[in-house]
Chains A and B, each alone.
Chain A
Amino acid sequence: MIRHTADITDREETLLIEYAFGTLDEAHSLLIASYISRSPQARERVRACEIVGGMLMESCCAPESMTQKNAEHILEKLGAVTENPPPAQDKEDNAPLETFGDNDIPAPIMAYMRRQQKKAKWRKLLNGCRICRLSLRGSQYNFALYDIAPGHGMPTHTHKGAELTLVLEGSFSDEYGQYDAGKLVIHETGTTHTPQAHPETGCICVILTEGPYRFSNPLVQLLSFLR
């Protein structure tokens, strides 16, 4: 069942709040991080929640007594930090860009893809559609990049659990609307749809799902098991 009412904004708003407060699982976090890297509005809403978070931490967390009472130890650690800046993150930022193709892949996802280089490969899923799966820590969610050629798409299907799609490039449309780059599309559990990429630009997107595909066409469903 799909709801194109305030409930969709509700769902998105909830995700943004949970992201700001740090309670989202890794898969949804990655999706929202990518979303806000594209949407100044969403970023602003997250920022507003973070401001409240800062105030809550400052004013509502009664200071705990520290076992290390003198400052010597922390000053020593400062010395170490200044002389040897942590290399890990800097290295990641400066690493040569693997040609996964696009500058338009959000930085958070790029970081994951670099780390999983050997495993995160583009594979053909269907005619005109290739997929790059990312494996996330302890996650029951499926998280993958999809590259759909102009005019191609996915057969009619549904999922158990919600399907969240972030359009990165181009656009796609289904029975419920057309979605351009930067848009976060949330289809609630049980929504059946037939997504098709734009006939000229195609579509690159990130899709997060909880349950596997259930194709309406039994033959397609059978074939999907053979992959």
Chain B
Amino acid sequence: MLISAMGKEPKVIEENNFSAPEKDISNEEMVAAVAGNQDKQAFISLYNYFAPRIKSFMMKAGITPDAAEELAQETMLTVWSKAGQFDPARAGASTWIFTIARNKRIDYLRKNARPVPDRKEIEFDTGIGTTSASEVISRAEEAEILDNALTELPEEQAELIKKAFFEDKTHKDIAAENNLPLGTVKSRIRLGLERLRHKLGEQIT
């Protein structure tokens, strides 16, 4: 995959630049290619895109970078071996891959003492502005939808959803830590999720 030279110096073309998959082929189609033809190229594309994000997801729960990278690899290996089970009618590729990553994270955290996540790592991060230019350009549309939806949420709802998702904590833990009534935490998260689903449903058909 080529990176167009956005900067002044010619860039070294790395084999894996973790940029987005070709825009013409969706993630769902790539999973299907893996399932149907054991397409390694398609798999590499998926790997380059998802593995660094899965690693990030793991690290936000306080898992060390090395363990997180291993979990990301294990997740993608499961994607390879279970590609035949993916049903695009039921969910998108990112949802499916998320559930695999989530389950690996659960197993890992249950076997190991739960690490305390570094507060600094939990900051909301859209991924825009911290990734390569080509990636920004090709993923801009999709990321923007969620980014807008999240920023349009009342601050208090977005804040709690991030905590519920990134920090490996129940609603009750979040309430206790932030000195909020449990009912407030619950309703803010529920309302926020409702709005997000509604917004995403509007854009994606």
Contacts and interface: CB of A to CB of B under 8 A. Distances in A.
Interface in B14-70: 14-16, 18, 38, 40, 43-44, 47, 50-57, 59-60, 65-66, 68-69
Given A14-B171, A60-B125, A82 B38 contact: yes
Contacts of B110: 26, 137-138
Nearest to A70: B15
A51 B164 contact: no
Nearest to B168: A23
Nearest to B65: A64
A71 interface: yes
Contacts, number: 171
Interface stretch (A72-80, A96-104, A123-131): A72-80
B165 A21 contact: yes
A10 B186 contact: yes
Contacts of B51: 66
Given A14-B186, A74-B73, A81-B77, A62 B130 contact: yes
B171 A65 contact: no
Contacts of B69: 64, 66-68
Given A22-B106, A26-B110, A63-B56, A50 B170 contact: no
Interface residues of A, number: 46
B129 to A, nearest CB: 9
A217 to B, nearest CB: 33
Contacts of B130: 62
B181 interface: no
B86 interface: no
Interface string A40-69: 000000011111111111111111111111
A24 B150 CA distance: 24
A210 interface: no
Contact of A61 (B57, B187, B190): B57
Contact of A21 (B47, B77, B164): B164
A218 interface: no
Contact of B170 (A23, A51, A62): A23
Contacts of A29: 106
Contacts of A74: 44, 47, 73, 76-77
Contacts of B73: 68, 74, 77
A13 B91 contact: no
B53 A52 contact: no
Residue among B91, B96, B170 with max Cβ neighbours from chain A (10 Å):
B170
A211 to B, nearest CB: 16
Interface in A74-113: 74-75, 77-78, 81-82, 85-86
Interface of A: 10, 13-14, 17-18, 21-24, 26, 29, 47-71, 74-75, 77-78, 81-82, 85-86, 137-138
Given A53-B102, A57-B57, A78-B80, 19 more contacts: A17-B164, A17-B189, A17-B190, A21-B165, A50-B91, A50-B102, A52-B197, A54-B98, A58-B53, A65-B52, A67-B65, A67-B69, A74-B44, A75-B44, A78-B40, A81-B80, A85-B81, A86-B81, A137-B110
26 contacts: A13-B186, A14-B171, A18-B164, A22-B103, A48-B193, A52-B193, A52-B200, A53-B95, A53-B99, A53-B165, A57-B97, A58-B142, A59-B143, A60-B124, A61-B60, A62-B56, A62-B127, A63-B53, A64-B52, A66-B16, A66-B51, A66-B72, A67-B65, A69-B14, A69-B15, A75-B40
